[in-house]
Chains A and B, each alone.
Chain A
Amino acid sequence: MSDHDYRPKSKVGQWFNDRLPLLTLANHLTDYPTPKNLNYWWTFGGILTFCLITQIVTGLTLAMHYIAHADMAFESVEHIMRDVNYGWLIRYIHANGASMFFLAVYIHIFRSLFYGSYKAPREIIWILGIIIYLLMMAAAFMGYVLPWGQMSFWGATVITNLFSAIPFVGEGIVTWLWGGYSVDNPTLTRFFTLHYLIPFLILGLVVLHIWALHVPGNNNPVGIDIKKPSKDTVPFHPYIVIKDGFALLMFMIVFAFFVFYAPNILGHADNYIEANPMVTPAHIVPEWYLLPFYAILRSVPDKLLGVVAMLSAILILAVLPWLDTSKIRSAVFRPLYKQFYWILVADVLILGYVGAMPAEGLYLLIARVATAYYFLHFLVILPVLGFKEKTLPVPLSITEPVLGGSPNLAAARNKESKIE
Chain B
Amino acid sequence: MKNLFKLFSLIILIIASNSNSFAAEKVEYLKTDWSFKGLFGKFDRASLQRGYQVYAEVCASCHSMKYLSYRNLAEKGGPEFSEAQAKAIAASFEVTDGPNSDGEMFTRPGKLSDKFVMPYDNVKAAQAANGGAYPPDMSVLVKARGGGVDYIYSLLQGYEEAPSTVTLDDGVYYNKYMYGNKIRMAAPLSDGLVEYGDGTNATIEQMSKDVTTFLMWSAEPHLEARHQMGFKAITYLIILTTLVYFSMKKIWSRVESEV
Residues of A contacting B238 with CB < 8 Å?
Answer: 253
Q: Taking each of A37, A39, A239, A260, which has the highest tally of chain B beta carbons within 10 Å of its own beta carbon?
A: A260
CA distance A199 to B181 in the complex (A): 45
Are B237's CB and A353's CB within 8 A? no
Are A261's CB and B227's CB within 8 A? yes
Partner of A40, one of B4, B12, B14, B143: B4
CA distance A36 to B257 in the complex (A): 7
Interface segment out of the listed A65-73, A165-173, A265-273, A402-410? A265-273
Are A249's CB and B255's CB within 8 A? no
CA distance A39 to B12 in the complex (A): 19
Partner of A88, one of B39, B72, B226: B226
Interface size on A, residues (CB 8 A): 53
The answer to whether A103 has its CB under 8 Å from any CB of chain B is yes
Residues of A contacting B139 with CB < 8 Å?
Answer: 78
CA distance A37 to B3 in the complex (A): 13
Residues of B contacting A40 with CB < 8 Å?
Answer: 3-4, 7
The answer to whether A394 has its CB under 8 Å from any CB of chain B is no
The answer to whether A362 has its CB under 8 Å from any CB of chain B is no
Are A256's CB and B233's CB within 8 A? yes
CA distance A261 to B230 in the complex (A): 7
Please give the distance in Å from A228's CB to the nearest CB on chain B.
15
Residues of A contacting B18 with CB < 8 Å?
Answer: 266, 288, 352
Residues of B contacting A79 with CB < 8 Å?
Answer: 67
Residues of A contacting B140 with CB < 8 Å?
Answer: 78, 272
Main secondary structure of the interface of A (DSSP, over half): helix
Are B7's CB and A249's CB within 8 A? no
The answer to whether B32 has its CB under 8 Å from any CB of chain A is no
CA distance A251 to B241 in the complex (A): 10
CA distance A259 to B230 in the complex (A): 8
- Given A103-B11, A256-B234, A353-B17: A89 touches B2 (CB 8 Å cut-off): no
Contact with B along A228-272 (1 / 0, CB 8 A): 000000100011001101110110111011011101111011101
Are B22's CB and A417's CB within 8 A? no
Q: Taking each of A246, A265, A268, which has the highest tally of chain B beta carbons within 10 Å of its own beta carbon?
A: A246
Please give the distance in Å from A402's CB to the nearest CB on chain B.
18
Residues of A contacting B179 with CB < 8 Å?
Answer: 282
Closest to A265 in B: B19
Residues of A contacting B84 with CB < 8 Å?
Answer: none
- Given A82-B221, A242-B244, A256-B234: A264 touches B143 (CB 8 Å cut-off): yes
- Given A78-B139, A256-B233: A242 touches B251 (CB 8 Å cut-off): yes
CA distance A24 to B154 in the complex (A): 66
Are B227's CB and A250's CB within 8 A? no
CA distance A252 to B237 in the complex (A): 8
Are B240's CB and A420's CB within 8 A? no
Are A39's CB and B226's CB within 8 A? no
Please give the distance in Å from B140's CB to the nearest CB on chain A.
5
Partner of B247, one of A36, A242, A353: A242
Please give the distance in Å from B170's CB to the nearest CB on chain A.
22
Partner of B248, one of A243, A254, A264, A272: A243
The answer to whether B245 has its CB under 8 Å from any CB of chain A is yes
The answer to whether A114 has its CB under 8 Å from any CB of chain B is no
27 A-B residue pairings within 8 Å (CB atoms): A36-B257, A40-B3, A40-B4, A78-B139, A81-B221, A81-B222, A82-B72, A92-B226, A107-B11, A234-B255, A234-B257, A238-B251, A243-B252, A245-B248, A252-B237, A253-B237, A265-B19, A268-B22, A269-B148, A272-B143, A273-B144, A349-B14, A352-B21, A353-B17, A356-B21, A357-B21, A417-B2
Which 10 A/B pairs are nearest by Cβ-Cβ distance? A260-B230, A272-B144, A249-B241, A356-B21, A272-B143, A36-B257, A78-B67, A242-B248, A272-B140, A88-B222
Chain A interface residues toward B at CB < 8 A: 36-37, 39-41, 75, 78-79, 81-82, 88-89, 92, 103, 107, 234, 238-239, 242-243, 245-247, 249-250, 252-254, 256-257, 259-261, 263-266, 268-270, 272-273, 282, 285, 288, 349, 352-353, 356-357, 399, 417, 420
Extra contacts, 10 of them, besides A250-B4, A269-B143 (Cβ < 8 A), are: A243-B252, A247-B4, A263-B226, A264-B143, A272-B140, A285-B22, A288-B18, A356-B21, A356-B22, A420-B3
